Chain A
Amino acid sequence: MSNDKDDSKELPSFIKNWNQFYGIIIVWLVFLIFVFWLITIFFR
C-alpha cells in the first residue's frame, strides 16, 4: 500500500499514516458486516 508522507500531516492526529487509515476502514467494514449478521440472526 502507498504511504504518502507528504500529505500524511493532513490526517487527524490520532491516525499515524494513510495505511493505518485504510486499515481502520477495513476493520470498520468487517465490524459492520458482523453487526448486520448478528441483527439478521437475532431478528430472524
Chain B
Amino acid sequence: MAVQQRYPTRPLECWGKLEELRRRLVRDTYSARERGDLVVLGGPGPLPSVLCGLGGFQLLSPMPIGPDMQDLRLLTKMNELATAQGYGNDCCATLRIALGSMLMDRFGMNKRTGEILKPDIHFESLACQGQMKAQQLYQEYYFQLPSFVVEMPWQEEPRQADVDYLESQLQEAVEWLQKTTGREFNDELLAEGWLNEWRSRIYFSRIMEYQAAVPAPLDQKMLASFATLMWRGAMHLPEIRDFYKEAADEVAVRAKEGIAALATERCRLFHEGPVPWYPSNVLRYFNRYGAVCIGSWLYCTEFGNFTVNEDGSWDVCPMPEDMGLPLKTRDDILHSMAVVFTRYNPRPQLGARIDHRVNMARHFKVDGAVFALDRGCLGNTCGAMESIVAFKEAGLPVTSYEGACANPSELDQGEVVSRIDAFMESLGLKPLEPGRPLLQAEVGG
C-alpha cells in the first residue's frame, strides 16, 4: 500500500492579529459618529484612499461581508425581496443582497445594538457591470444621497489614454468630495493613505505569488480570509499595511520551509470564479482527496497589482519608492494611482484573462481547475467558458459547477458534490477522509 506523503503544517502566526483587526474594523465602522467620521456608502474596490484627503471616514460596503451572510434563511429572504422588486437572479447576487438588506431596513445595522448607520455620501469606483448598474439602486433607496462614481477603465492592453482617463476622473472626484462634504481636502493625508494602500496591495500580491511554491503555504480559504481586510476597504490604514507586511513575511517563510496549508497535498487546483460568500465547505471539500485549492486568477486580480508574463510568472507592481514617479503633490498622487490601476491591474483586461489563467495555472503548477459558473456574477463569468476550452486545449483537467455567490438556493449541493467527486476520480484520486456537506445550514424555510 502506497504511503501518503505528509508535509509539515502549522497554523498561521498572524491569524490572531487578522481576527483582531477584523473585529476592530467593524467596531470602528459603527462608532464612526462618535469620532465625527464621514460615513461613505461604497464598494471596497480600488481607491478608498482617495477619501483619505477628507480625514476620518468609514466605508459602509454594499458587499455582503457582514453577519447577515451567516444566515442562509435571511439570505434567501433578501434574494426574494430583490426578485420581487424586478431584479432577477441574473442581476449581481451580492448586490441583490445589499438591496434586500436595505428593503428590510437592515443595511448598516449594528447587530449588537440594532442601530442603523446611515451613509452621508455615496462614492464608489466601478469595476464591473453589475456594480455599475446596481449602485443606482442604492441611490433610489437612499433618496437624494450625494453620489460620485469613478470608472476603472476596461482595457485590451494598458495604454496611456486609460491612465489619462482615470486620472481625470480622480481629479474630478477630489473636487466633488470637497464641494459635497464641505471638508477641506488634505493632500498629506491623501498621500499617506494612498502610499499605505499601495504597499498593502503589493504585500498582498506577494502573498499570492508565494502560492506557486509546492506545497502551497496557504489554501484559497486562507487567502479569502486575508482579503477580508481589503473587502472592508481598509488597505489605506497603516496597521493594515503592517499586517500585510507581516503576513507576507510569514508566508515567505512557509514557502521557503515547505510548510503546507494541507499536509496531504497531492493535487493542486485553481478554483476559478466567485466562491460562496455564505458559509460553505466548497473550497475545502477537495481536501478529503488530498487536493488543495491554491488560488485563482480571480482571487489574485481582485486586490493584487501585477502584470502576468507569458510564462505565467508575475511582475508585481513596484513599491512607491521604486516606481520612479514623483509623489509630492496632489497631482502626483492621483497620477500614480492611475498608473498603478491601469498598468498593474490585469483584471479589466477581459480579453487577456483567458491566456493569463492558463499561463498562471502552469506557473502555479496546478493539476486542474474548477470553475464556479456564477449565475449572479456575470462579470466574473465572462470568459469562464472560453477559459474552460483553453484549459482543455492546454491539457489541464477542468470541471465546473453552477451557483450564485450570495444566493444559497442556487447551489445544488448534491449535483456539485457529484461533480467534484467525479472530477477527483478522473484525476485518479481517492478520498483520504469522509466528506462533509457543502453547506453548513439548511436553506429556505
Are A and B physically bound partners?
no
